[in-house]
Amino acid sequence: MKPGGTNSERSTPLRTRHRQIVDNISGQGWGLSVSQPFATWHYRYMDPRAGTVAQESDLIDVDELIAAYYDRTPNPDDPAQKVVFGTSGHRGSSLDAAFNEAHILAITAAIVEYRTLQGYDGPLFIGRDTHGLSEPATNTALEVLAAAGVEVRVDSRDSFTPTPAVSHAILRANGVGSAQGLRTTGPGLADGIVVTPSHNPPRDGGFKYNPPHGGPADTDATSWIANRANQWLRDGVEKIERVSLAAALGATTTRPYDFRKHYVDDLPSILDFDAIRSAGVRIGADPLGGASVEYWSEIAERHNLDLTVVNPAVDPRWAFMTLDWDGKIRMDCSSPYAMASLVARMSAPDAAYDIATGNDADSDRHGIVTRDGLMNPNHYLATAISYLYSGHRPSWRPDAAIGKTLVSSSLIDRVGAGLGRNVIEVPVGFKWFVPGLLDGSVGFGGEESAGGSFLRKNGDVWTTDKDGLIMALLASEILAVTGKSPSVIHRELVDEYGQSWYARVDAPATLEEKAKLGALSPSQVTSTELAGEPITAALTEAPGNGAKIGGLKVTTKNAWFAARPSGTENVYKIYAESFVSADHLKQVQDEAKQVVSDALAD
C-alpha cells in the first residue's frame, strides 16, 4: 500500500467525520465550528467537501501554471498585479499575472540594490519549497544575482529547503555558534531569500527576503524593495542585467551549501533527543508534500528516533491532500480539514504513533496531533510555553519574556502570569520577535497561526523565523519528559487558569475591503460594552511595542476580539475569545461582525 493509504481508504472515514462535524453546528448561523476537546475553529463560508480528498477537478495544470509564469506580463498600475509585500513576502499566482517572471526579476534586482545600500556584501542564502512556481522563480533570481556578482549559496543537493533552515544558515554565517557570537554590522554579512508562498494553494508562488538577522524583513526593508521593484516593472524589466541559468549555476560566486546537514546536525543544541529516544516515543511526521520531507527522514536516521515519514510524496498539484474549509487545497497544518488524513490515522484504535505532526510547504508552521485529535494552535503554544519555562530550559535568562501576537489566546497571558514571566504582545508577524530572540530577552515567540521558535538550550538564538520542525519535535520531548501528551497538559492548564472558547472567522475580501479593514480605528467602536462586559481597551497599536496592528482589537476582562485583513491571501479575519462560555463567544463574534460590516459599508 502506498504511504497514506488509497484514496478510498482515506476518504471514507473523513467523509463520515465531516458529516459529524456539520451535524454538530447546524443552526449556529455564524459559520462552521470544528470542536474537539478544548478546541474550536470557525469559518464563515464552508465548502461541503471540506476534509475530503481532492478530486481531479481540484488540481492545477502545472504546465499551464509555469507557462503563465513566463508568458504573462503584469500591469504595474493594477493593484492586483504589482509587487506587494504582505506579512511574509510577495505572493500571488502566475495565472492572475500576480507572480510572474517580471515580478521576480524586479524584486531580485531591488534586493540587489537594497543589500548594496545597506552594505551587505556576504553570501546570500537562497532556498525554495515544493510549489510549482518555486523552482522557476528561484532560477530567475539566480540569473539576476549572478549577473550582479552576488555571492550566492544554493542547496548542495539541488533540493527543497525549509524556511527555518535558511534562517539557521544566515545566523550561522553571521557568527551564531562561534566564539565571537552573532554580529549584525560590518563587512561580510549574510542574508537570504526563501521562495515560498508558505501554506497557500498550489497555484500560488511566494518570494520573501530575510536580512542578516535571519528573520522576516521589517516594513522599512519590504516597503523599499516593493517600491523599487514596482519602479522596475514600470521602467521595463528587460533593462535588468541577467545571465543564463547555466552561467548562473556555473558562476564562481554561486556555491553549494548543505542546508540539511548543518540544520539537522545542530538540533541537539535545542532539543532533548536523549529523552525522546529513552522514552521510545513513536513519531509520525507528515510533511504535507512540503520542503521538510527529506529533513524528517534525515532527522530520524541521524538522531536514531522512532520516526516515520507518514507520506513522503511530493506533488506540485498536491493531489493527496484533503480540502480545506473553503474547498481549496491548502497546506495549513493548523486546519482540521487539511490535516484530516493524519487526524484519522491517529484516531484509529491501532494508531502506530504516540505523536503525529504536520508542516506546511516551507515548514515554518506546525500541527500537533495527539490521541485527542489535532490541537488548536493556541493550546499548543500555551502548552509549549508552560513546559519550556517550568525548569526545562534552566540556562535561559531568568527574565526571558514570552512573545505572543495580539490575536493569540489570552490563556498565554494567564500562563505567563502564573510562571512569573513577562508576556510581550506584538502585532501579527514573526518579525516582531526577532530582536528579543537575538539577545535572549525573549525565550519563546509564537503566533496563533501555528508558528513559533525558541532559544537553544544554552539561551542563544536558534532561528529568527518560524520553525515548524522544532515545534513539532518539542511535542515529543514534552511527552518523553513529562509522560503526558501536550493535549493532556493543556487540559491541566485549563483546570488551573480557566477554559476559553476561541474562534477565527475567515471570509473573502477584495483589496479595497482589506484596505478598509486595515484602517479600522477605536472611534468605530461606539459602545462602552462588549457582550455585556465593560470595554477595557480598544487598540490599534500593540501594547508590547506600540507598533500599528493593521486592524482593531477590543478587550474586556474576560473576552476580546480583533479584526484585520490577511497579509497573505484575499480574506479578512475576525479573531475572538471568551473565558465565559460558548454563547458568550458568539455574542462577542456578533458584535465584532457588526463592526466589520459597518466598516465595509462606509
Report, as residue numbers or ranges, the catalytic residues.
198
* Nearest to 330, CA basis, from 449, 447, 453: 449
* Nearest to 585, CA basis, from 37, 31, 26: 31
Cell numbers at 157, concatenated: 543537493
Rounded to whole angstroms, how far apart are CA atoms 28 and 231? 49
Cell numbers at 421, concatenated: 514571566
Cell numbers at 390, concatenated: 517550568
In the chain, the amino acid numbered 240 is I
Cell numbers at 286, concatenated: 507528515
Rounded to whole angstroms, how far apart are CA atoms 598 and 187? 52
Cell numbers at 328, concatenated: 481549496
Q: Between helices 340-347 and 7-25, what is the axis angle to 10°?
A: 90
Contacts of 105 (CB under 8 A, 6+ apart): 140, 144, 232, 237, 240, 242
Rounded to whole angstroms, how far apart are CA atoms 119 and 122? 9
Rounded to whole angstroms, how far apart are CA atoms 433 and 428? 10
Listing DSSP states for 199-257 in one string gives: TS-TTEEEEEEE-TTSS---HHHHHHHHHHHHHHHHH-GGGS----HHHHHHSTTEEEE
Rounded to whole angstroms, how far apart are CA atoms 562 and 549? 10
User: Is 553 exposed, middle or buried, given 0-12, 13-18 or 19+ CB atoms closer than 10 A?
Assistant: buried
Cell numbers at 335, concatenated: 486546519
In Å, how far are 341, 354, 575, 581, 602 from 13, measured between CA atoms?
Answer: 9, 20, 30, 31, 45
Q: Between helices 62-71 and 134-147, what is the axis angle to 10°?
A: 30
3-state secondary structure of 63: helix
Rg (the chain; Cα; Å): 23
Asked whether the beta carbons of 166 and 125 are under 8 A apart, the reply is yes
Element (H, E) at 34: strand 32-36
* Nearest to 365, CA basis, from 259, 471, 228: 471
Beta strands, E only, 499-584: 501-508, 529-530, 533-534, 537-541, 548-555, 559-565, 571-578
Rounded to whole angstroms, how far apart are CA atoms 310 and 54? 18
Asked whether the beta carbons of 433 and 249 are under 8 A apart, the reply is no
Rounded to whole angstroms, how far apart are CA atoms 173 and 115? 16
In Å, how far are 201, 359, 459, 514 from 400, measured between CA atoms?
Answer: 37, 27, 9, 36
Q: Is 532 left (phi over 0), alpha (psi -120 to 50) or beta?
A: left
Cell numbers at 280, concatenated: 521510545
